Structure 1
Amino acid sequence: MARSQETGGKKDKEKKKAKHRQDKLERKEERKANNSKGKSLEDMLAYIDEDGNITSTPPDPNKKREFNPEDIQLGVPKAVDEPIDPIRKGVVKFFNESKGYGFIIDQQTQESIFVHINQLSTPIKEKDKVSYEVERGPKGLNAVQVKKIS
């Protein structure tokens, strides 16, 4: 008598494949039964309540508020230029004579302000106290009319 060609491993694999096919068929039938195609527009709409949460019920018309479209600000607010004191005082933090530029630390704001050699009325070096005026440049504040004070 000849032995069967099917072994235990083959039978198990065939059973798993058959079970998988059956599960797949059941899932397909379930999807057909719960098909969402053909729903009305009202069933697909979602609403946002006054707290910003998504709900399926429309908002109460009595709670409706009117807004002026010009009052709604989109994006980042524009920077407001604060009035700048014309003459400021500070200390030279860094100055490179060969390159012709440096930085001054403002006494009030502790802000670093760029200074170019063309804006100096007297020669300066590091740790000198200076008075200056500020003007807005392309990369930030620039010191102009810089004078060394004693």
Structure 2
Amino acid sequence: MGKSQETSFKKEREKKKKLKKDAKAKRKEERKMNSDGSAESFTYVDKFGNFSDTPPPPAEKMKAEDIDVSTPKKEDRATVKELETERTGVVTFYNDAKGYGFIKDKSTQESVFVHVNNTTEPITEGNMVTFEVEKGHKGPTAVKVTVKR
């Protein structure tokens, strides 16, 4: 008959698996014995962002709806700025040959496209300008651009 298919390597591997399984079961039993009766431990955060093991008083509990997880959307911030009709900014780039450039809005730090047709007087890079913003094909566009003196 044939020789047994079980080799010494297989036997050693099975022994190691059994030892690991026994050690894991032993650790699990130790955790059960050392636990203070509660199934899980919680960490609470107070309104100042400090961690504690005790729950906050009922009056101070926050609702999930009150928590703002992300920064406000750009549109939400822009609604306040849209009420202002005239803005100020600096011309960061302007190409005289092609007749277009970009203005960096002083209050929002937003880059706004400007075309020569929307200027009331010639502009150059570095000029401080006042302008109004309209929605263009590819984003905000500056109109009624004048050099601030």
TM-score normalised by length of structure 2: 0.48
Work out which of the two has the higher radius of gyration on C-alpha atoms and give 1 or 2.
1
Which protein is richer in helix relative to its size?
2
